[in-house]
Every structure is written in structure tokens, then in C-alpha cells.
């Protein structure tokens, strides 16, 4: 655990000092030239009853999103196999649910988990709130990780979501831990929060013991129709400060440069990798919004002399 003042002191270091420290921590724990490729699959899209102000999938906002019923298991497994062929080692299935219910749809998710695990990929799911029994069933099916973000600081959270409490997020994360699943928990930068809110968001993560094994740092993707549609992007150097600070606070966790990469330059992404980000979402789509796509990402890694983690370097 760290105090907000301690975290702020790291965050506000002179930029070269901050990056040097982050890169030093990074290479002491990870191979700094390798990036993990994860692929997302939206297994149930849209019509979510929650009102998260950033989210195109909330039924409360008119974003023009095509609502889709639960995907067929076969289609999901075909998607996972295709992602694996392109170098992805982790497959994350997301559903626009408020919470998991013990119904046919959850049975279908368990079947998807068994299938993707059978392909030899790391399986991650993000399904909203759940209890320990449901988390245990996921674990028994071969799921490795559950993604459930705290998204921001507790006080800022109240201004972006009214349909659930910050404590509900913590309760689900606790259930995930009790079931022995790994925790993937991060947040979004660029929702109009102050630097102080960002510090408190990171501080909440430092209170988790053990720390989340993976921490996605998303840049808001502003989607027309959502209340946050018109927010300006966070200055790139401020965003890199968040990546570097997260790396220093969580040396052994994966830091994932998550949503928002289509609007980032190659230089900005290169800085994020130098500052300790070591995982990205690949493919043309995140859940519902565009993502750079395999060709651009492979091109970027090539230009940087970096490689995809877990994939042999071509001769």
C-alpha cells in the first residue's frame, strides 16, 4: 500500500527521471522487447442496463450500436483460433451484462471458456458482477483471469456511474480472488478526471493484496451519443506518466496499453512500451470500437525492433 502523496511524488518526477525509473523496474521483471498480444471478443453486445457514462453499450445512450444476442459457441471458438494464428496468446471474452446470472447464457460462457482453454490460450472473461460460486465455476472450466475494472477513483466514479457503487466493484474483485482466479483490474484515463483523481485510482489498486496480475490502462474512446463524447484527449505526456507510474507501483504486473490506441501516434505507443506497458489488445476491434489491427501493430513492433511475446522470432 502507498499513500497518495507517495504516488504523486512518483507521478510528478521530472519526465526523464520517471521514465528511467519505470524502464529500470520494467527490465528487472520482464523482457522489455516483448509485447503480449491479447484479443477481445464481444460475446454479447449492447443493451446493458448500467449507465457507465463512457460506454457505448449502455442502453441508456443512443450510440447507434447494433445490439446483438449471445454469440454461438462455435463462432467464438473460430475467432479464438484465428486470433491464435495471428500471435495472440490471450483471449478475453466480454459481455454487456450488469451481472452474471445462473442461466443458459452462463452455461454457454463456460463452454466457450473450456473451448478456448483447449486451444492452449490464456482465457480471460469480463461479465460484470459475480459471486464466488460463479467465479469458481469459471475457474473449473479453465478460465485463468477475470477482468473487472475499478475504472477511476472512488469519488470520481460516482460522477460517471449511478447504477452501481464503487464497493460493488470491490466485492466482485474479492469474489474473483477467493475463487483463485487472477485479477485483471485497471481503469480509464480521459473521462474529465483531475490528476488527483488519477492518483487516488492508482492508490486504490495498491490497496489490493495481492496486486492485480494485470492492469489495463484505457484511454477513453469518446463515442458519440455517450455523455463523454466531446471530451478532449489527455495530453500524451500525461498519459505516459500514468503508464510509468503504474509500472513503478506494480513491477510484476502486466501493464496493458488498452483502449484508445487508434488515436495514438507510433511515437506515443513507443514511449508507453519504454515506460513499461507490455501488453496490447490486437485485432480490428476492441469490443465495439475500432482498434489499429494486426498489420499496423506488427509494423509498429518491427519498426521498434520488438517482438510478439510467446511467438518465435522469424529467422
- The answer to whether 150 contacts ligand SF4 (rule: CB under 6 A) is no
Annotated catalytic residue within 55, 185, 247, 261: 55
The reply on whether position 54 binds ligand SAM by CB under 6 A is: yes
288: nearest Cα among 9, 102, 46: 46
Interface pick for ligand SF4 out of 57, 88, 89, 291 (rule CB under 6 A): 57
Helix, strand, or coil here: 51? coil
Q: Does 55 bind ligand SF4 (CB under 6 A)?
A: yes
25 vs 202, beta carbon nearer ligand SAM: 202
Binding of ligand SF4 by 288 (CB under 6 A): no
For residue 151, the partner it binds in ligand SF4, ligand DTB, ligand SAM, none, with Cβ less than 5 to 8 A by kind, is ligand SAM
Using the rule CB under 6 A, is 228 a contact of ligand DTB?
no
Query: 160-187 b/e with 16+ CB inside 10 Å = b?
Result: bbeebebebbbebbebbbebebbbbbbb
- Whether residue 66 contacts residue 236, with contact meaning beta carbons closer than 8 Å, is answered with no
Gap between the Cα atoms of 78 and 111, Å rounded? 13
55 tagged catalytic? yes
Cα 247 from Cα 224, distance rounded (Å): 32
- Give the whole-angstrom CA distance, residue 192 versus residue 187: 13
Separation CA 307–CA 299 (nearest Å)? 10
- Please identify which residue in 23, 110, 243, 287 interacts with ligand DTB, judged by CB under 6 A: 287
Q: 38 an active-site residue?
A: no
Where do contacts with ligand DTB occur on this chain (CB under 6 A)?
A: 40, 56, 92, 94, 126, 147, 149, 186, 216, 218, 221, 258-259, 286-289
Binding site for ligand SAM (CB under 6 A): 54-55, 57, 94, 96-97, 126, 128, 148-149, 151, 188, 218, 220-221, 223, 259, 287
Applying CB under 6 A, the residues found at the interface with ligand SF4 are: 48, 50, 52, 55, 57-58, 96, 98, 128
Amino acid at each position: 500500500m502507498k499513500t497518495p502523496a507517495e504516488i504523486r511524488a512518483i507521478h510528478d518526477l521530472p519526465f526523464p527521471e520517471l521514465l528511467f525509473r519505470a524502464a529500470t523496474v520494467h527490465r528487472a521483471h520482464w523482457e522489455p522487447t516483448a509485447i503480449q498480444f491479447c484479443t477481445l471478443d464481444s460475446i454479447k453486445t449492447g443493451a446493458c442496463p448500467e449507465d457507465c457514462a463512457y460506454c457505448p453499450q449502455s442502453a441508456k445512450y443512443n450510440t447507434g450500436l447494433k445490439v446483438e444476442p449471445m454469440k454461438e459457441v462455435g463462432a467464438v471458438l473460430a475467432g479464438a483460433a484465428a486470433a491464435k494464428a495471428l500471435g495472440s496468446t490471450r483471449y478475453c471474452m466480454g459481455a454487456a451484462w450488469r451481472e452474471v446470472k445462473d442461466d443458459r447464457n452462463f452455461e454457454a460462457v463456460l463452454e466457450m471458456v473450456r473451448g478456448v482453454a483447449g486451444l492452449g490460450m490464456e482465457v480471460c472473461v469480463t461479465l460484470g458482477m459475480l459471486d464466488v460460486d460463479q467465479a469458481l465455476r469459471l475457474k473449473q472450466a479453465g478460465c485463468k483471469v477475470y477482468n473487472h475494472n475499478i475504472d477511476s477513483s472512488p469519488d470520481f466514479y460516482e460522477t460517471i456511474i449511478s447504477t452501481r457503487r464503487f464497493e460493488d466493484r470491490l466485492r466482485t474483485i474479492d469474489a474473483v480472488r477467493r475463487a483463485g482466479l487472477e485479477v485483471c483490474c485497471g481503469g480509464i484515463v480521459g473521462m474529465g478526471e483531475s490528476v488527483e483523481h488519477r492518483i487516488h485510482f492508482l492508490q486504490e489498486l495498491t490497496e489490493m493484496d495481492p496486486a492485480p496480475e494485470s492492469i489495463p490502462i484505457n484511454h477513453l474512446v469518446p463515442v458519440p451519443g455517450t455523455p463523454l463524447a466531446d471530451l478532449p484527449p489527455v495530453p500524451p505526456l500525461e498519459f505516459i506518466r500514468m503508464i510509468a507510474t503504474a509500472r513503478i507501483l506494480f513491477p510484476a504486473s502486466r501493464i496493458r496499453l488498452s483502449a484508445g490506441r487508434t488515436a495514438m501516434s507510433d511515437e506515443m505507443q513507443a514511449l508507453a512500451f519504454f515506460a513499461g506497458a507490455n501488453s496490447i489488445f490486437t485485432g480490428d476491434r476492441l469490443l465495439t470500437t475500432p482498434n489499429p489491427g494486426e498489420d499496423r501493430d506488427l509494423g509498429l513492433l518491427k519498426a521498434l525492433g520488438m517482438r510478439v511475446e510467446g511467438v518465435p522470432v522469424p529467422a
